[in-house]
Amino acid sequence: MARPYEPPSAADRYRRKPVLKLGLQVMEALERAERSQIVHRDVKPENIMQDSAGGFWLLDFGIARHLDLSSLTASGLPYRKMTLGYAPPEQCRNFKREIDSRADLFALGVTMHECATVRMTFLTLLRAIILNSLGAWSNFLCRRSLYRLLLRKAFGT
């Protein structure tokens, strides 16, 4: 449902300023990585730290890949290195030839959106898709409370 545009309040503008700084500083780190043909492949809030001076640092290059070197896992395999909710579609499908610095930009965009809105948008969409597919199965559950308990356990809500 569409809502009329409301200009951001002073509090919202103040809260979003660090998000812009985070984006610019992580973008600089990703630019340096791209120049070296490295794709981070796991940009997410948990891999970005803020120092005491207010600067942001991109950490954990544990699943990074050098684009000029061969990969340790084959393309198209169901096993893929990623964090659900931040990885772009080509990384989710494990199409390695399509994974480049744009994958990191996608993940940074998701991260910035999450920081600005304090909502995990893509995980929320994924949850909605799963819940929708469970709709038919819910008829088999005898009690609605059991159904809610299972959903709470599965999604931590």
Catalytic residue set: 42
Write out the DSSP string of 36-68. Answer: TTEE----SGGGEEE-TTS-EEE---TT-EETT
Residues 19 and 110 sit within 8 Å (Cβ to Cβ):
no
Q: pLDDT category, 105, cuts 50, 70, 90?
A: very high
Rounded CA gap, 86 and 44, in Å? 7
More confident residue, 1 or 16: 16
Confidence of residue 74 (pLDDT cuts 50, 70, 90): low
- Work out the pLDDT band at 137, boundaries 50, 70, 90: very low
Dist CA 91 CA 96 (whole Å): 7
2 alpha carbon, distance to own chain's centre:
25
DSSP per-residue codes, 67-95: TTS--SS-TT-S-----TTTS-HHHHTT-
CB 108 within 8 Å of CB 27: yes
Closest CA to 16 of 4, 5, 8: 8
Looking at every residue in the chain, the average pLDDT score rounds to: 75
Q: Which tops the pLDDT comparison, 31 or 143?
A: 31
Averaged pLDDT for residues 124-142 = 55
Residue 119 has pLDDT above 60, yes or no: yes
Distance of alpha carbon 143 from alpha carbon 141, whole angstroms: 6
Provide the residue ranges of all domains of the chain, joining segments of one domain with +: 10-126
pLDDT band of residue 91 (cuts 50, 70, 90) is confident
- Proportion of the chain above pLDDT 90, given as a percent: 23
Please give the CATH topology (third level) of the domain spanning 10-126.
Answer: Transferase(Phosphotransferase); domain 1 (1.10.510)
pLDDT in tens, 21-35: 999 999 999 999 999
Using the predicted structure, report yes or no on whether residue 12 has a pLDDT greater than 50.
yes
